[in-house]
A and B are shown apart, each in its own frame.
Chain A
Amino acid sequence: MRTRVLIPTGAIGLGFDADALARAVAAKPDIICVDGGSTDSGPFYLGTGTSKYGRDATRAEWRALMLARAEAGVPLVVGTAGTCGTDSTVDWMAEITRELAAELGQTVKIAKLYSSQDAATVTDAWSAGEVHPLEPVIPADAGAPATLTNIVALAGVEQITAALDTGADIVIAGRTTDTATIAALPLKRGAHPGGAWHGAKIGECGALCSTNPTSGVILIDFDEDGFTVQPMAEGAKATPALVSAHMLYENSDPFILYEPGGHLDVRGARYSALTEREVRVEGSEWVPSDNYTVKLEGARLSGYQSTILVTLRERRYVQNAQAWVDRLGTFLHGEIASRMGLGPDDYALDFRLIGQNATLGALENRAGTPVEVGVLAIVTAPTQQRAAEIAKLANPFLLHYPLTDDEPQATFAFPFSPADSARGALYEFALNHVMTLDDPMQAFRLEVEEVAHA
């Protein structure tokens, strides 16, 4: 049996080609799957349980997908809703869905799959030896979960299948693996397991595996032997080279992909051009594991930051920017100690030299003579108030501090007033672990609601 999956875009928020979506809906898909997030934008979103994309932009894209779903008469699934896939972002997405259902006059059954983890439960699992570190091993023990603001587990196909089995029109899933939403229905309907997981990985970034990567929309047909991928934008083509190269993208290993319940091995995959725009893939293998494990993600608050940006244009300061910040840093540590009574463990003061090595730091191996250098001063402290106090103390010295004692007063360029900006909370990723489950649903919750608007 063929299962046709429509993937409108690599992630909600990236947009898609409306004509390509219309063509894909007309091609009668069995399900529409879209990704709602990842860790790629950093720990802030998981730390706070909020979405990276704004509500208006998300709502506009989701509206188009809810209309596509109604027209196609098939389920619509979003994985990792609201960037981080915490319970709070699932509820946020559900609220948007209810609003749109009312606006569009749609009657829909919504299944919400929750992936957030209770810290005490994870600690118990840790103590029972059911939580294991992945490489690279980061320092963490059974006490770690209690220090985190949010923990999520990554759902796989079993949990998405449970959500689909409720008969839901719309599934709003919390954190899931990139592939799970796409692989679930084909696997349930008997598709080749290696092909289902491999096709899902190829499809999870939308049309990125085609000659028109920003157009978004692709269709993947799954069957008992493999899968076929076709991009839907006018003139867009999938080629064997582009499709096979997609396994490189954001994967530390281009041949093996670990998922809940096993791993995908694509070393035996064969890619062929079915037409000039469609690629056929067969030969990938799914290897089930003995234990069912889910990956955990967690973030903790690690301080608050204030920043000041100052630019140097005077040639002597540009040429000696590193010496200037070294001297300034030493001076400021002394001032902060004497005026605020703070030692080196109470705060951090970092300087990034934009134009010199701000991007690569110590790895930078090129030296040039830039026209100007931007000095980004970053203060990190346990409270926003302390970070702001230190930034305000540093302000006049970032403006005037001299390279040597015996020279006329220098003044540099502040682009803003006030010069300091409160950046808010800093979060850090604090788990790189998997948790073993006896039952795939043990760490997840499913809720169903019906919204009726005749």
Chain B
Amino acid sequence: MPELGSLVSRVRSKNAGPFWLTIDIFCGDTETFERLEPQLTTAAIAKLYDQPGQTLKRFAIPELHVLKFSMPRINIQGSRQDRDMHASQWAWLLSEMQVD
């Protein structure tokens, strides 16, 4: 099974304020978007990031071939437990996810 990152144009993650982070997957074309969209369910992403599914926001934007996920940060930005001030490396966990 390939890694998601090998199929798409780009995956990025970033803070959306101190309490949220957001992950954008640019699929690159309609075919890749339609291949990945059914697999990247709220439940699958919630499991990957150890999040309660009900707090995870999922956006599928076919015009941009984009899938977007937003979730409360596990640790508030800059708190003692936070490891990634800009939440920029969270993307790579998703990029390395095995997909069909």
Contact = CB atoms under 8 A, between A and B. Distances in A.
Given A44-B78, A253-B57, A428-B76, 5 more contacts: A253-B70, A359-B89, A360-B90, A363-B50, A428-B78
A244 interface: yes
Interface size range of chain A in the complex: 35 or more
B86 A40 contact: yes
Given A254-B59, A360-B93, A363-B93, A428 B20 contact: no
B16 interface: yes
B6 to A, nearest CB: 15
Contact of A252 (B17, B74, B79, B83): B17
Contacts of B68: 248, 254
B16 A302 contact: no
B66 interface: yes
A42 B19 contact: no
Interface residues of B, number: 38
Interface in A37-68: 39-44
Interface in B53-91: 55, 57, 59, 61, 63-64, 66, 68, 70, 72, 74, 76-81, 83-86, 89-90
B76 A365 contact: no
Candidate in B18, B20, B74 with the most chain A CB atoms within 10 angstroms? B18
22 contacts: A42-B78, A135-B55, A136-B20, A136-B72, A138-B76, A244-B64, A245-B64, A250-B16, A250-B22, A252-B57, A253-B59, A302-B80, A350-B81, A352-B83, A359-B89, A361-B83, A362-B50, A363-B48, A364-B93, A380-B80, A429-B77, A432-B19
B77 A39 contact: yes
Interface string A293-306: 00001000011000
Interface string B19-49: 1101010100000000000000000000011
Nearest to B97: A365
B93 A365 contact: yes
A135 B83 contact: no
A427 interface: yes
